[in-house]
Amino acid sequence: MTLQTSALKVAKRLSRVNAGGTAITDLETEIKEEIGATIRYYNRKPWHLTEFRGMVLTTAASQEWYSSVDLTSGDGDQSNSGRSAVDTKDILRIQYMRENPGSSGLNEPMLRLGYHDFEALFEGSTPSGPPTYYTFYAGQIGIWPTPDDAYTLYLSGLVKPVIPTADSDTSVWLDECEEMIVAGASKRVCLNYLRDQERAQEFAAVELAEASQLETEYTLKSSSGRLKAHD
């Protein structure tokens, strides 16, 4: 699905189309903006649709902090977005990281540290060598010890998909759960431009029902299926 296709569906539900139902008569810009706003809202939450496996970060000698990772060799529901790289600010969560074998021959998982503990490692010394620990802070990935060479790091996590802006742009949100996005955008147009609270509530109910189903699917896919004992 493209942005234009979804925008037309919103317009039809709001009766903002021509007699043939083939073109939006008004509020076209506003409708597309609200589709983007709806996607932006769901981008901030963890879903299976935002999972991405196999991102690559290549370190540089004497550089501790990194602000982008490569997506070309990875895989995920959003991999058709056409991005070859992503800003680390768009990574919602890092779930796993390791150094790929090759430069040092290691293939062991790297351990994540809280930011305070990470910075404490540098106090009194500036060690360098193969990556062992990482932290995720201020939209950047920090590596310890300071890399002494180019190392290839493999990581997986949740990445915010691109928000469509051009008419021909696609999105994993429009492909997998268009009904939720269309309902959410319709609700926002009713609230922000039509001042129609009653219809906004109707669309909100549809959006909530669709989001609930999506969350159930996410829970099923992310659950281990086992019960864990607790004290």
Alpha carbon of residue 26 to chain centroid: 31
pLDDT at 78: 62
The per-residue pLDDT of the chain, averaged, comes to 91
pLDDT at 94: 96
pLDDT at 47: 93
pLDDT at 6: 98
Mean pLDDT within 31-38: 98
- Residue 10 phi, psi dihedral angles, 5° rounding: -60, -45
Quick: pLDDT tens for 150-165. Answer: 999 999 999 999 999 9
Quick: pLDDT tens for 170-190. Answer: 999 999 999 999 999 999 999
Confidence label for 221 from pLDDT (cuts 50, 70 and 90) = confident
pLDDT at 73: 81
Mean pLDDT within 100-127: 83
Distances 182 to 6, 42, 188, 192 between C-alpha atoms, Å: 7, 13, 10, 15
pLDDT at 51: 93
- Residue 97 phi, psi dihedral angles, 5° rounding: -150, 140
Q: pLDDT > 70: what percent of the chain?
A: 91
Strands (E), the chain: 51-58, 65-66, 68-70, 75-76, 85-87, 91-99, 111-112, 133-137, 140-144, 152-159
Quick: pLDDT tens for 139-148. Answer: 999 999 999 9
Residue 56 · residue 153 · CB < 8 Å: yes
Cβ contacts of residue 229 below 8 Å, gap of 6+? Answer: none
Confidence label for 76 from pLDDT (cuts 50, 70 and 90) = confident
pLDDT at 38: 98
pLDDT at 126: 82
Residue 58 · residue 152 · CB < 8 Å: yes
pLDDT at 188: 98
Alpha carbon of residue 134 to chain centroid: 20
- The residues spanned by each domain of the chain are 3-44+166-222, 50-159
Per-residue b/e over 91-110, b at no fewer than 16 CB within 10 Å? bbebeebbbeeebeebeeeb
Residue 230 has pLDDT above 60, yes or no: no
Query: Helices 3-13 and 28-43: crossing angle, nearest 10°?
Result: 110
- Residue 142 phi, psi dihedral angles, 5° rounding: -100, 140
